[in-house]
Structure 1
Amino acid sequence: MEKKRRVLLKLSGEALAGEKKTGFDEETVKEVARQVKISADSGVQVCIVIGGGNFWRGRSSNAIDRTKADQIGMLATVMNCIYVSEIFRSLGMDTEVFTPFAVGAMTKLFSKDEAVKCLEQGKVVFFAGGTGHPYFSTDTGIALRAVEMEADTILLAKAVDGIYDSDPKVNPKARKFDRISIQEVVEKQLAVIDLTASILCMENHMPLAVFGLNEQDAIAHAMNGEITGTIVTAE
């Protein structure tokens, strides 16, 4: 039987907040859901990780212990995944939310076997709560779940349309990379994902793609392998 394409999509919490920059913008989330549904209906197996920045950016505060700040951030991602999952359901998709720690009856405890079963049933699977441990970023959680789930690629939907050699908002002559290795990303300190996540991708040959969230049908295209941003090879 032909292996179905399996992708892990990372969405930023701030992106889901729209112009408000905090909380949720329902129309923005519905547009994301519409695009994901196009791919899911075509047979692509979709995993999603969402950041928590629309609710919590605890590292900017020195008044709170780092461990507690990270735990609040994990719970922010749980809220995001539950909300986005419900919007997806309202548009006719079946979903399941997994966490690495128990959240009552609101989510399922992560198990690779259970997650794979859900994907094979056509469900969109959400991975909330990061790794479940402090001092590990959402980036690390993305890389870990992508490797565990044997995804074909990690898709990073960002505000910019790819990876540049400098900030294109500051430098109008910034050069965009169509293709670059994860090793070069680390060496050039391009900050696509953090160092721990980068090493995990390198060691496990997990490619990534970075693209602009705001481009027309960008998510649907990326999920089907049509990348207009930057492809990051795991060399």
Structure 2
Amino acid sequence: ELKAREDAIRKIVKEIKKAKQERDFRLILVHGAGPFGHGNVKEYDIDNGVFTERQKEGLAKTVKDCSFLNSLVVRELNQAGLEAIGMNPNGLIVQEQKKIVEFDTKGVEKTLSEGRIPVLYGQMVPDKKLNASVVSGDAIIAYLAREFKPDGVLLGTDVDGIFTDDPKGNPEAELIKRIDNENFDRVLERVGEAKTIDVTGGMRGKLMKLRENLKDSRVVIFNITKEGNLYNLLKGEEGIGTEIYF
């Protein structure tokens, strides 16, 4: 049975609330699907399209599980007094060969303009060639960043940023404090692939998407599980995690 880390969600919500009480900013929240998505995608073999009856069954289960996780996140935000609206990408995004080709962002814009927090997430969405395909949280962030031109893009993970190797397996791995066009290729050579099941490409995939889509944005990859990190970044502090400029 899948269980969400509700204590971790609450801590994140608490830091957002604290930062919002001290500084006025608008926020779009995008979360991944974690095991609620990746496990199903592997089990039902739906990473490359949905064609068989079993794959259709897997699609329905994945959409339901990812939506359930989103409902937990949105509930915690609202219980903390932060008005949040969950937005299912399944009704907003159409892909072709796993690439976003249509994205109706009018609801996101309206929600933001009303002072609420739109909450989107990694999900299975319609695909013109594959019937359905995975849209990752990273792909959603990249698209929305191009559309809304935010002051910053904060990518929370469970490590302190981008390292020269997987820090969970190699204690000698060093944190890379800044990535830009000068050192990008060298960094890419050294960054290890994710060791966990992640059908959306791990840290290397994240970096490739960032360079492709997030030019002229300040991007920070940081450890969201470390208390105070998210709060401090939302307050505008620097020097946390890996800062990326393209």
TM-score range, shorter chain: 0.7 to 0.9
3-state secondary structure, aligned to 1:194: helix
Q: Name the aligned partner's letter for residue 151 of structure 2.
A: D
Q: Give the unaligned 5+ runs of structure 2.
A: 93-102, 127-132, 193-201
Deviation at 1:206, TM superposition (A): 3.2
Deviation at 1:127, TM superposition (A): 1.3
Q: Are 2:19 and 1:39 equivalent residues in the alignment?
A: yes
Q: In structure 2, do the counterparts of structure 1 residues 177 and 220 end up closer, same or farther at CA, with 3 Å as the change threshold? A: same
Superposition TM-score, scaled by structure 1 size = 0.73
Q: Name the aligned partner's letter for residue 147 of structure 1.
A: R
Of structures 1 and 2, the larger Rg is shown by: 2
Q: In structure 2, do the counterparts of structure 1 residues 162 and 231 end up closer, same or farther at CA, with 3 Å as the change threshold? A: same
3-state secondary structure, aligned to 1:101: helix
The aligned residue for residue 6 of structure 2 is: 26
The aligned residue for residue 122 of structure 1 is: 115
Which aligned runs of 4 or more in structure 1 are off by greater than 6 angstroms?
Answer: none
Q: Are 2:69 and 1:87 equivalent residues in the alignment?
A: no
Q: Name the aligned partner's letter for residue 69 of structure 2.
A: N
CA contact (8 A) 2:10 2:76 kept: yes
CA contact (8 A) 2:166 2:191 kept: no
What is the 5 A alignment of 1:65-144?
Answer: 65-66=46-47, 67-68=49-50, 71=59, 72-102=61-91, 111-130=104-123, 132-133=125-126, 134-144=133-143
Identity level (%): 20
3-state secondary structure, aligned to 2:237: coil
Deviation at 1:199, TM superposition (A): 4.2
Deviation at 1:137, TM superposition (A): 3.1
* Of 134-143 and 91-100, the range deviating more from structure 2: 134-143
What is the 5 A alignment of 1:1-235?
Answer: 22-41=2-21, 42-56=23-37, 57-61=39-43, 63-66=44-47, 67-68=49-50, 71=59, 72-102=61-91, 111-130=104-123, 132-133=125-126, 134-181=133-180, 183-184=184-185, 185-186=187-188, 188-189=190-191, 191-192=202-203, 194=205, 197-202=209-214, 204-227=215-238, 228-233=240-245, 235=246
Q: Name the aligned partner's letter for residue 169 of structure 2.
A: V
- Give aligned pairs, total: 206
Q: Give the unaligned 5+ runs of structure 1.
A: 1-20, 104-109
Whole-angstrom CA distance in 2 between matches of 1:218 and 1:130:
27
Deviation at 1:176, TM superposition (A): 1.0
